Amino acid sequence: MADKKHNTDRRRLIAGLGTLAAANALPGQLTAQTGNETDILIIGGGIAGSSTAFHLAEQGRDVLLLERGEIASEASGQNMGGLGGSGWGNNPNLLSYLTAGSVEIFKRMQIDLGYDMEFRLSGTLTAIHTDEQYEYYQDDVAAQRNNGYQIELLSSREARAIEPESNGSLPGYMYRPERGQADPVKSTQAFAHAAQVAGATINTGHNVVSMSPLSAGGYSVQTESAEFRCQSLVLATGAWCGPIGEMLGLKIPIVPIRGQMWATESLPARVLHTIGSTVSSYAWSKDNGADEVTPPNLTHKNGRRMTRHLYGRQRMNGEIIFGGDRESLGYDKTPNRSGIEVNRQHAAEVIPLVASLPIARTWAGLMPFSLDGSPIIGKIPVRDNLFIVSGLASSGFGRGPMAGKLAADYIHSSNMNPVLGESDPARCVTET
Ligand SMILES: Cc1cc2nc3c(=O)[nH]c(=O)nc-3n(C[C@H](O)[C@H](O)[C@H](O)COP(=O)(O)OP(=O)(O)OC[C@H]3O[C@@H](n4cnc5c(N)ncnc54)[C@H](O)[C@@H]3O)c2cc1C
């Protein structure tokens, strides 16, 4: 009976989310909860951890999330804000779930629950720079369309009709109407807020420094100032999964990869779509650069540039932002000016307007790349009641919402959605 009332109260809270979101209440502004015992403890307040917390709390589970900084203080707050994918396709696989499924969750948060996440289904234009690339992508687009994905090949004239600032002298563009964009910080904070409203406890400023299994089952988790105990533990620490795994005697093959970005001053709306380029994907289709210690699809290897990657958009505040480099430099996240300059020239080949706009600010963040390039989402079999949701690499902002929901559904029901077979931690997480 008590449980029934508890669940009814939670449902009322969820129904009231829109009002709270409209009032712009953020995590920490709701009534603080205390208590160091919980059913499920999540470490990491990026998009992966915040979405997992929301989807578990919504199902009535007791959830505590520990974040050492603020919500969205790492990659989830520093990214470009692009949402990927080309729809569900005829036979939805993990990629379709993570991309198209996450877009559905963004729609729910923005439209149904009332959070202002600056979400819109802008579509993406990806520039094709050479005739050789055009030929390759002609076949690729035809194959994708046969598989039911939403993608078109446009002439540069057709592209200019929907994106007037795009370069009309390029051979063509790929257009993916199902792709979108959203503000990284607002979106991640919205998930954490929704989790709190649904009953989760969100503790920021808690740096986890050690963990140990309890003899009676479950885990003890120590931060610099407190000890917490839980039945189940979820690792959502992004690029820091390696060091977090070591605290449990595990080797989690996720490495930090620096991504960097730059922004112009604010100007009136000029760039309407999310913008990309095929230079990198074409190069990676020939050689993705992976080896035992290097994940696939980086722009640099052993200090040398291998290719140029590009993504960007105009934010609602008017800034035009671009980025693209992916470099393995440990935990160094200082932006590199020469890389930013290469990226700016690349952007100007697609949107010539940016060549004349000064760079107003730069920043960088660390992306969680798994060594085999696939996400790591699910149960870690070498320990009891231990889960991970990570390895989302360069696309985790757009894929994190569904990654968190798939992880939450698995934890709540004990049944793994078959699409998670591709991301099974059993393939790569080992004892140290
Ligand atoms: C420059 C750049 C551009 C990008 N552009 C895009 C894009 O356009 N679209 C897209 O989809 N993706 C993009 N990404 C990738 C995306 O940002 C990441 O894949 C995603 O944010 C990863 O989310 P996460 O929750 O796994 O990790 P994070 O956001 O890094 O969250 C992990 C959290 O764990 C916390 N943590 C770590 N260790 C501890 C500890 N010991 N105790 C407590 N807390 C801890 C950290 O403080 C952090 O907040 C970009 C990334 C960068 C850097």
CB–CB of 128/180 below 8 Å? Answer: no
Task: Give the separation between CA 241 and CA 235, rounded to whole angstroms.
Answer: 7
Half-sphere exposure of 385 (CA within 13 A, CB side): 18
Mean pLDDT of 170-185: 98
Q: Which residue has the tokens 């990927």?
A: 84
CB–CB of 249/57 below 8 Å? Answer: no
Task: Give the separation between CA 326 and CA 329, rounded to whole angstroms.
Answer: 10
CB–CB of 184/397 below 8 Å? Answer: yes
Q: What are phi and psi of 274, to 5 degrees?
A: -80, 140
| Total tally of structural domains belonging to the chain | 2
Give the pLDDT of residue 24. Answer: 44
Query: If you average pLDDT over every residue of the chain, what do you get?
Result: 93
Residues 208-257 pLDDT 10s: 999 999 999 999 999 999 999 999 999 999 999 999 999 999 999 999 99
Percent of the chain at pLDDT exceeding 90 = 92
Alpha helices in 79-181 (DSSP H): 94-96, 102-107, 131-146, 156-162
Distance of CA 224 from the midpoint of ligand 1 (Å): 22
| C-alpha of 114 from chain center | 21
> Looking at residue 224, what DSSP letter applies?
S
Q: Are residues 341 and 378 in the same domain?
A: no
**Ligand 1 pocket mutation, candidates 204, 240, 374, criterion most atoms within 8 A of CB:** 240
Mean pLDDT of 196-214: 97
Q: Please enumerate in sequence order all residues whose Cβ is within 8 A of that of 430, keeping only pairs 6 or more positions apart, or say none.
A: 250, 251, 382
Distance of CA 68 from the midpoint of ligand 1 (Å): 13
Distance of CA 166 from the midpoint of ligand 1 (Å): 30
Q: Are residues 153 and 259 in the same domain?
A: yes
Does 289 reside within a domain?
yes
Give the pLDDT of residue 5. Answer: 43
Identify the CATH number of the domain in which residue 262 sits.
3.30.9.10
Residues 284-315 pLDDT 10s: 999 999 999 999 999 999 999 999 999 999 99
188 vs 24, more confident: 188
Q: Are residues 7 and 72 in the same domain?
A: yes
Distance of CA 51 from the midpoint of ligand 1 (Å): 13
Task: Give the separation between CA 402 and CA 417, rounded to whole angstroms.
Answer: 12
Q: Which atom of ligand 1 is nearest to the CA of 364?
A: 1
Q: Which atom of ligand 1 is nearest to the CA of 223?
A: 42
Residue nearest atom 21 of ligand 1, based on CA coordinates: 76
Distance of CA 406 from the midpoint of ligand 1 (Å): 18
29 vs 248, more confident: 248
Q: Is the CB of 208 under 6 A from ligand 1?
A: yes
Does 23 reside within a domain?
no
Q: Which atom of ligand 1 is nearest to the CA of 366?
A: 53
Residue 156: which domain range?
124-177+255-370
Q: Are residues 229 and 363 in the same domain?
A: no
Does 110 reside within a domain?
no
Identify the CATH number of the domain in which residue 387 sits.
3.50.50.60
Q: Taking the model in full, what pTM does it have?
A: 0.94
Does 109 reside within a domain?
no
Q: Which atom of ligand 1 is nearest to the CA of 237?
A: 34
